[in-house]
Structure 1
Amino acid sequence: MTDTPDQPAEIQAPLDDFSPEELEVGRIMFAGECTFMLGAAGLGQIPDTDLPEIAFAGRSNVGKSSLVNALTGRKAVARTSHTPGRTQQVNFFDLGAKLIIADLPGYGFAKAPKDQVAKWTRLVNAYLKGRQQLRRVLVLIDARHGIKDVDRGIMKMLDGAAVSYQVVLTKTDKITAGQLEQLMAEIRIELAGHVAAHPIIRCTSSAKKIGIEDLRAELARLVNC
């Protein structure tokens, strides 16, 4: 029988299973109150907190806001847009005074003047390199397109800054199980050459809630470690 996009697969390493208790910890953490703190358009506006922090990065329209909404179980915690480049600042969210979520401006394409794009780039680079409480950057990759050169540029910068990052595939419901397996094999090979990359790839679909429970549990581990 031929795989179809309605038959997505989630490929996980055998030692990557979460216990029911860990899944429940993740569920409870993300079920808490999630409030928008502010949108930082400059380095001086970035909030001064001592809470652990997770940043979401990815090409424009990769699904960052949709994933934040899916994780928190809310429809509009992070605003989504069909217009690439609409997010023009770093948006910070407080998750129950336990975790700060940072939604970074999309990279690779923006309907904005070049000087404004350059300003966003400087802001993101300065934030990523100087944020001591930043536990991990989730680099979101559209499963339909795989890793592009603009993604590699971000990954190289994170390697150089010694900032831990993890690839999270989005929209995995849009490809077949076979395509997903091949894509993950290719990405694993590529990640082996990146010193700051986490070895485990997460597969998600905000629309079909694929991989959401596991990603919650993993982020809860980072907060509680």
Structure 2
Amino acid sequence: MGKSSLINALTGRNTLARTSNTPGRTQELNFFNLGGRLILVDMPGYGFAQAPKGLVEKWTRLVNGFLKGRSVLRRAVVLVDSRHGLKDSDRDMMKMLDKAAVVYQVVLTKADKLKAAELDAVQARTLEEIKGRVAAHPHLIVTSSEKGTGIPELRAELASLA
């Protein structure tokens, strides 16, 4: 479960964002207006996607173009699969966000898939890496769309931006 599953968990609506078991199904920008107070945007992923390289590059340009110079953007959320931790593609995205001065928050997903000690280690490594980043919000949130872990915390964090 990825970005779309997290949007569904945050909004409490199982079918608001279309989900799939296959990564890379989101292929355009999908806007979700939350009561006129906040708009969530589900974007194509930039890391692992089962799609041709040219299409993934197109999605990356779309995401980068959307994020750069968008003054009304309150925060970007960088979702990181806790089973893998930060990957080079995540670091590239964070570098781009730092350069563009877009505040972002890292959210670890799929926390239910790891044992407690493994999750603690991923959290520690991730916090260590983001603390030196210019535009990174310093608070790491750990979530599981399936178990509901961290969903109220992330919901409150996003609501504070509205």
Q: Which segments of 5 or more consecutive residues in structure 1 lack a partner in the other structure?
A: 1-61
* RMSD (Å) for aligned C-alpha atoms: 1.3
The CA deviation at 1:108 is 2.1
2:43/2:63 contact within 8 Å kept = yes
Q: Which of 75, 84, 90 is matched with 2:23 structurally?
A: 84
In the other structure, the counterpart of 1:190 is 129
Q: Which segments of 5 or more consecutive residues in structure 2 lack a partner in the other structure?
A: none
> 1:84 & 1:217 partners in 2: Cα distance?
27
> 2:118 & 2:55 partners in 1: Cα distance?
37
> 1:212 & 1:84 partners in 2: Cα distance?
21
1:149 aligns with 2:88: yes
The CA deviation at 1:172 is 0.6
Aligned residues: 162
1:210 aligns with 2:140: no
TM-score (norm 2): 0.94
Q: Secondary structure at the match of 1:134?
A: coil
Which gives a bigger RCO, structure 1 or 2 (Cα 8 Å, sep 6+)?
1
Q: Secondary structure at the match of 2:74?
A: strand
In the other structure, the counterpart of 2:59 is 120
Q: Secondary structure at the match of 1:222?
A: coil
The CA deviation at 1:116 is 2.9
> 1:215 & 1:192 partners in 2: Cα distance?
19
Q: Secondary structure at the match of 1:167?
A: strand
Q: State the one-letter code of the partner of 1:182.
A: A
> 1:109 & 1:178 partners in 2: Cα distance?
25
Q: State the one-letter code of the partner of 1:214.
A: E
Give % identity: 64
Q: State the one-letter code of the partner of 1:208.
A: K
Q: Which of 26, 29, 46 is matched with 1:107 structurally?
A: 46
Q: State the one-letter code of the partner of 1:127.
A: F
The CA deviation at 1:179 is 1.4
> 2:145 & 2:94 partners in 1: Cα distance?
23
The CA deviation at 1:119 is 2.2
Deviation >4 Å, runs of 4+: none
